[in-house]
A and B are shown apart, each in its own frame.
Chain A
Amino acid sequence: MERIQIIAIAASLLFLLYIAWLIVKGKLREEYAIVWIVSTFVLILFSFWREGIDIVSNMLGIIAPPNMIFTGAIFIMLIYLLHLSVTVSRLQKQSKVLAQELALLKNKEGKKE
């Protein structure tokens, strides 16, 4: 096993541990952790199985294997960012309704006193 493989595996495992810790502490919800856990597993898989990158990029018809990694990573990041934008939009909608209800309720309470 080469030095770079050991570094990559160690870094991936540390990252996985950190994600697990965040979930345990309740700072990260499981549904948002899925993508991180899956991508860490992919990283670990290719750290052990180095020829894998060449084999997969050959299969897809990509000449330079690193290009597959960059393209794949950027694609996943874009999709995930879009997912986050959708989440933010939903939260914004929900918090708007909550704020409005609160303003109306405060007014009703004020009248009673």
Chain B
Amino acid sequence: MSHSLAIIIPAYNEEKSISNVVNDVLATSLYKEFQVSVIVVNDCSTDATALIINSLNCVSLHLPVNLGIGGAMQTGFKYALENDFDYAVQVDGDGQHPSVEIPTLVSELIKYNLDIIIGSRFITHKGFQSSFIRRAGIVWFSLLLKILTGQRIYDCTSGFRVLNRKSLELVCETYPDEYPEPESIILFAKNKIKIGELPVSMSERQGGVSSIGFFSSIYYMWKVTLGIIFTFIRTNNR
């Protein structure tokens, strides 16, 4: 049986790395029994990203205004749902996510009958581990999520995820706009989505700048903490 797999890559000013990422993803996932489509969501980039992705072998979605990573990802999810894909993978446009791991992630998702699987840096601690301050933030979110959902997700900020049809339907309906990764976990858990984690080894970004700068990290902590708590309250009352 052949499954269709949408590989969604959100890109904002990633002219340096985007063609490598797309080609990597296409090269490594071809040998599986999946029908693979790469979907690049251009979040209103101001550099040459739009031109580059139009010339690549992928579906290109161009947002007319900058929506941020969450809004861009949701555009890709909506495309995947509209076009009846069975699975969707999120891969960042900066080359941090190892595309060789995609087939493994998908087959593990099917094997363990999960709804979403997260590629995690912190289970076996291999590869790029991020800075101390970021890891501290991740530990805090992980703890908060553990308290609220009862499930321990080690790398809750990882954007390297595979979603099945059920979780795809959920994210098309509701998905946070900014820094969506930790916040979406509570959304999944409260909607009885089965979450799994698989160790992967990530690399440092190839180009571009992180969506989280030094000064905005304090804002990030507050925004995401509030987001997690309010999503918890909102879904509890449903």
Contacts and interface: CB of A to CB of B under 8 A. Distances in A.
Given A103-B75, A104-B78, A107-B79, A96 B67 contact: yes
Interface stretch (B16-24, B58-66, B104-112, B226-234): B58-66
Nearest to A96: B71
B171 to A, nearest CB: 12
B41 interface: yes
Interface in B162-219: 177
Nearest to B54: A110
Contact of B74 (A92, A95, A100, A106): A100
A86 interface: no
Interface residues on A, range: 10 to 19
Most buried by B among A92, A95, A99, A107: A99
A100 B41 CA distance: 10
Contacts of B62: 103, 106-107
A53 to B, nearest CB: 41
A99 B63 contact: yes
Interface string A86-109: 000000100110011011101100
Contacts of A106: 61-62
A104 B41 contact: no
Interface in B57-96: 59-65, 67, 71, 74-75, 78-79, 82
Interface in A18-45: none
Given A104-B78, A104-B79, A107-B79, A99 B71 contact: yes
A102 B64 CA distance: 8
Interface of B: 41, 59-65, 67, 71, 74-75, 78-79, 82, 177
Q: Which 7 A-B pairs have the closest CB atoms?
A: A103-B61, A100-B75, A103-B63, A99-B65, A96-B71, A99-B63, A103-B75
16 contacts: A92-B177, A95-B65, A96-B177, A99-B63, A99-B65, A100-B74, A100-B78, A102-B63, A102-B64, A103-B61, A103-B75, A106-B61, A106-B62, A107-B60, A107-B62, A107-B79
